[in-house]
């Protein structure tokens, strides 16, 4: 029987964009067990809910994660709105949807670049990030911020998008989509990429469901769960359907994200075309008294903000469950049986966000 050794993987690693740490038990070059360690960058953000007024905590919620910052703010805001029975104007719902989908596109393009880099495709990495810059430019034009937008608030949004800018965005969507499809064609059809990804890090539909996988990690295994289907923000008006693959390997998880970029572009196009007139916020009076599980779909999967108010200007409790935490057990299931050289690709395939996970 080969001798077993333990090799630490992370938190610093040339391929990893996030400080994830795994102890890998190896027999020769083969992984037989993976033991995760959580808590490396804990920041104590949930404690701040007792030190910041509920309207101010939106800014803290945005900074849980830089990549999906707007969706964190949206999830928190709609939780408080539900507790306080605040009806958000229709135009604000549509603007929230546009910015959420812009965040999803730039997150997926960022991930595609990092995934290409993990496989050794430097030019593919640069092309993915070049396209991502176009999305960041739109976010900067419409919100003032490239990564942290600061536009979502309890009761609506802080900024509107004028009709001239909406028309300009609509005109650029077709050429941008074509560029994304040219990029996606490489990830989906290149023989080298398929050879590297197909059959690697496989997790079945039943395993993904039982282990609580979220987002593209679950949908890549055939679990058709996407919280946008529940119709929060303006998704109920836009007729959203989730992107699902069935093979459950790294290629399937990559394909889900590539196709979600196309779906997000279509959602933005329809949101612009159907944008209602009217106010972008309502006046918020009083303080939250009650509790609510607020849910939204981040690029990595479903995020949950549990909020509890006691009638004061500070919330009594906030608890956040992020998709990366849900995807760690499936990741641990994927790793045994693969070669050590393939570990970075499998880890990247769940799109880990450790800043989110270890608040």
User: Nearest 5°: CA angle at 145, between 57 and 297?
Assistant: 60
Q: Which residues contact 159 (CB under 8 A, 6 or more apart)?
A: 142, 143, 144, 151, 280
102 assigned binding-site residue: no
For residue 306, the cross-strand partners are 293, 319
254 assigned binding-site residue: no
Tens of pLDDT, residues 116-145? 988 889 999 999 999 999 999 999 999 998
Instruction: Specify the pTM.
Output: 0.95
Integer Cα distance of 300 and 221 in angstroms: 14
Mean pLDDT by 10 residues, the chain (359 residues): 84 76 91 88 83 93 88 96 96 97 96 91 93 95 91 95 95 96 95 93 95 96 94 92 94 97 97 96 94 95 95 93 92 94 92 81
Q: How many domains does the chain have?
A: 1
Q: Which of 215, 184, 186, 180 is closest to 331 using CA atoms?
A: 215
Q: Which of 302, 323, 203 is closest to 251 using CA atoms?
A: 203
- For residue 255, the enclosing domain spans 4-357
Question: Domain containing 131 — which CATH number?
Answer: 1.10.645.10
pLDDT at 1: 66
68 assigned binding-site residue: yes
pLDDT at 319: 92
pLDDT at 88: 96
Residue labelled with tokens 């279509």: 266
Tens of pLDDT, residues 176-202? 999 999 999 999 999 999 999 999 999
Q: Which of 294, 326, 296, 323 is closest to 227 using CA atoms?
A: 296
For residue 82, the cross-strand partners are none
CA dihedral 215, 220, 224, 225 (to 10 degrees): -10
356 assigned binding-site residue: yes
């Amino acid at each position: 029987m080969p001798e077993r050794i333990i090799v630490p993987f992370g938190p610093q690693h040339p391929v990893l964009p996030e400080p994830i740490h795994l102890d890998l038990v190896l027999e020769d070059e083969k992984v037989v067990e993976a033991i995760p360690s959580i808590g490396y960058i804990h920041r104590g953000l949930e404690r701040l809910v007792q030190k910041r007024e509920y309207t101010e905590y939106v800014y803290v919620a945005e900074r849980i994660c830089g990549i999906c910052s707007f969706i964190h703010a949206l999830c928190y805001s709609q939780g408080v709105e539900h507790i306080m029975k605040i009806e958000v104007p229709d135009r604000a719902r549509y603007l929230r949807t546009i910015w959420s989908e812009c965040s999803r596109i730039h997150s997926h393009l960022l991930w595609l670049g990092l995934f290409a880099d993990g496989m050794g495709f430097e030019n593919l990495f640069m092309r993915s990030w070049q396209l991502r810059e176009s999305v960041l430019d739109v976010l900067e034009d419409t919100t003032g911020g490239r990564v942290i937008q600061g536009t979502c608030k309890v009761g609506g949004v802080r900024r509107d998008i004028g009709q001239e800018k909406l028309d300009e965005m609509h005109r650029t969507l077709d050429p941008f989509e074509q560029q994304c499809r040219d990029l996606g064609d490489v990830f989906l059809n290149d023989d080298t990429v398929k050879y590297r990804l197909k059959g690697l890090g496989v997790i079945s539909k039943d395993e993904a469901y039982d282990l609580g996988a979220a987002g593209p990690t679950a949908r890549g295994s055939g679990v058709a769960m996407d919280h946008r289907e529940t119709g929060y923000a303006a998704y109920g008006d836009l007729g959203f359907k989730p992107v699902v693959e069935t093979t459950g390997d790294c290629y399937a998880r990559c394909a889900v994200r590539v196709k979600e970029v196309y779906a997000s572009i279509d959602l933005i196009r329809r949101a612009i075309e159907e944008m209602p007139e009217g106010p972008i916020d309502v006046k918020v009076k009083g303080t939250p008294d009650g509790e609510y599980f607020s849910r939204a779909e981040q690029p990595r999967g479903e995020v949950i903000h549990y909020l509890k108010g006691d009638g004061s200007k500070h919330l009594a409790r906030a608890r956040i469950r992020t998709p990366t935490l849900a995807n760690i057990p499936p990741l641990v299931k994927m790793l045994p049986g693969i070669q050590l050289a393939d570990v970075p690709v499998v880890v990247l395939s769940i799109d880990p966000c450790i800043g989110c996970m270890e608040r």
